[in-house]
């Protein structure tokens, strides 16, 4: 299949999985421009760099898998370095279908009215779902179990107050305050201060990923996968400035290996279409409503048999139920 035929097929697939939306369709030239930018970056990096397969460390058993951790479990790191005859082929750029879907999601986010936010308020988010735990029994066998991930959380918009979580109807305060926030523990003000240019935003996220998951680290995730997971975590953080949300979607479209799955089910049982990235046997999915392109949730699915289960097993799944800005911790929008 020629490149032109593949592009046509991917665009037709995107049209099938996403019906017409109530906001403007992304202009073909805009989608093509984003994709051409990524292709040029891939070509530039291929000419100037080579990749190698980093040594694969052993799995750490007994680890509780949160959404971000599960997506990066037992994966191979692709890092910049000297060439190797055993180097795997580079991942292809994001598919046309995924670029189109993410652009639709970005347009929908950008059309969301901006909420006026002031100091002393809180972002609220409610989720349902589960994470997986693999632990060793007294007999030495490995046992897989699920832990409930359903909760409500209130985070100070400026990080000046402690975070409140409610799980199983029981409230507890998360020790310490978020402060200004960071990519792993963002506040509304932190998110509002991020670049809204997709290239600059991805660089900010990927630079952080490179420090902890790049060449020379003990991480088995790799900066590209970690960047994809980080963006997913930020997207389901709760109330986020519309421009920031739109930029996050467009930054995701710049990561190689991103594709779509036409049908995925979130932790609340809602069907949608998913933007995905597969890494060493695990597929991370951002699930969107087919009609509105609104983010429903995120999950990690095994695509091959591992200690965590058979192919098709949903290792983690978290669905967004509600979010917004409230005046006090404990309130709901």
pLDDT tens-digit map of 152-205: 999 999 999 999 999 999 999 999 888 999 999 999 999 999 999 999 999 999
Instruction: Tell me how far apart the alpha carbons of residues 121 and 116 are, in angstroms, rounded to a whole number.
Output: 10
Place of tokens 């991917």: 10
Whether 63 shows a pLDDT value over 60: the answer reads no
Query: Which residues touch 290 (CB under 8 Å, ≥6 apart)?
Result: 17, 18, 19, 271, 272, 273
**Whether the predicted pLDDT of 9 surpasses 90:** no
Cite the DSSP H helix spans in the chain: 3-17, 28-48, 67-71, 96-110, 188-192, 198-213, 223-235, 242-252
Residues 74 and 306 sit within 8 Å (Cβ to Cβ): yes
The confidence score (pLDDT) of residue 140 equals 77
What is the radius of gyration, based on Cα positions, of the chain?
Answer: 20
Q: How far apart are CA 279 and CA 78, in angstroms?
A: 10
pLDDT band at 260 (very low <50, low <70, confident <90, very high): very high
Partners of residue 52 on adjacent β-strands: 79
Residue 16: the pLDDT is: 59
Neighbour tally for 12: CB within 10 Å: 11
Distance CA 20, CA 104 (A): 10
Read off the pTM: 0.76
The phi-psi region of residue 194 (left if phi > 0; otherwise alpha if psi is between -120 and 50; otherwise beta) is: beta
Greater confidence (280 vs 205) lies with 205
pLDDT at 241: 94
| Range in 31-35, 133-137, 185-189, 276-280 with the lowest mean pLDDT | 31-35
Residue, of 96 and 60, whose pLDDT is higher:
96
**Residue 157's closest CA among 109, 124, 112, 127?**
124
In this prediction, residue 14 has a pLDDT band, given cuts at 50, 70 and 90, of: low
Closest CA relative to residue 275, chosen from 129, 106, 78, 32: 106
Residue at token pair 């000297």: 82
Cβ(251)–Cβ(191) below 8 Å: no
Cα–Cα separations (whole angstroms), residue 96 to 13, 89, 101, 225, 272: 9, 20, 9, 19, 18
pLDDT over 60 (residue 270): yes
pLDDT at 69: 32
Of the candidates 193, 159, 189, 191, which has an alpha carbon nearest to the alpha carbon of residue 177?
159
* Range in 73-82, 194-203, 299-308, 318-327 the model is least confident about: 73-82
Mean of the per-residue pLDDT values for the chain? 79
What pLDDT is attached to residue 57?
29
Position 134 pLDDT exceeds 50: yes
32 pLDDT band, cuts 50/70/90, is low
Q: Where are the beta strands (DSSP E) in 54-121?
A: 64-65, 78-81
Please determine, for residue 34, whether its predicted confidence score (pLDDT) is greater than 70. Answer: no
% the chain with pLDDT above 90: 58
Over range 39-49, report the average pLDDT.
Answer: 43
């Amino acid at each position: 299949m020629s490149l032109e035929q593949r592009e046509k097929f991917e665009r037709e697939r995107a049209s099938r999985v996403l019906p017409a939306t109530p906001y403007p369709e992304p202009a073909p030239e805009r989608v093509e421009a984003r994709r051409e930018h990524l292709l040029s970056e891939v070509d530039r990096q291929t000419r100037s760099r080579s990749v190698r397969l980093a040594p694969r460390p052993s799995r750490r058993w007994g680890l509780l898998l949160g959404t971000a951790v599960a997506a990066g479990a037992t994966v191979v790191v692709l890092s910049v370095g000297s060439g190797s005859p055993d180097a795997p082929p580079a991942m292809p750029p994001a598919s046309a279908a995924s670029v189109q879907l993410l652009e639709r999601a970005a347009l929908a986010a950008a059309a969301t009215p901006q909420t006026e936010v002031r100091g002393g308020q809180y972002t609220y988010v409610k989720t349902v779902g589960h994470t997986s735990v693999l632990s060793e029994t007294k007999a030495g066998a490995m046992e897989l179990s699920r832990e409930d991930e359903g909760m409500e959380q209130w985070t100070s918009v400026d990080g000046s107050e402690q975070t409140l979580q409610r799980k199983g109807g029981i409230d507890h305060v998360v020790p310490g305050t978020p402060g200004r926030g960071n990519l792993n523990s963002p506040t509304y003000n932190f998110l509002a201060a991020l670049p809204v240019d997709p290239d600059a935003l991805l660089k900010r996220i990927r630079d952080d990923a490179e420090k902890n998951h790049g060449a020379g680290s003990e991480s088995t995730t790799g900066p590209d996968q970690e960047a994809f997971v980080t963006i997913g975590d930020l997207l389901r953080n709760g109330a986020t400035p519309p421009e920031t949300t739109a930029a996050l979607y467009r930054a995701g479209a710049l990561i190689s290996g991103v594709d779509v799955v036409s049908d995925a089910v979130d932790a609340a049982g809602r069907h949608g279409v998913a933007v995905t990235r597969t890494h060493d046997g695990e597929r991370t999915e951002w699930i969107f409503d087919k009609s509105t392109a609104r983010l429903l949730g995120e999950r990690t699915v095994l695509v091959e048999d591992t200690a965590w289960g058979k192919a098709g097993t949903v290792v983690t799944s978290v669905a967004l139920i509600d979010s917004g800005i409230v005046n006090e911790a404990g309130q709901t929008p």
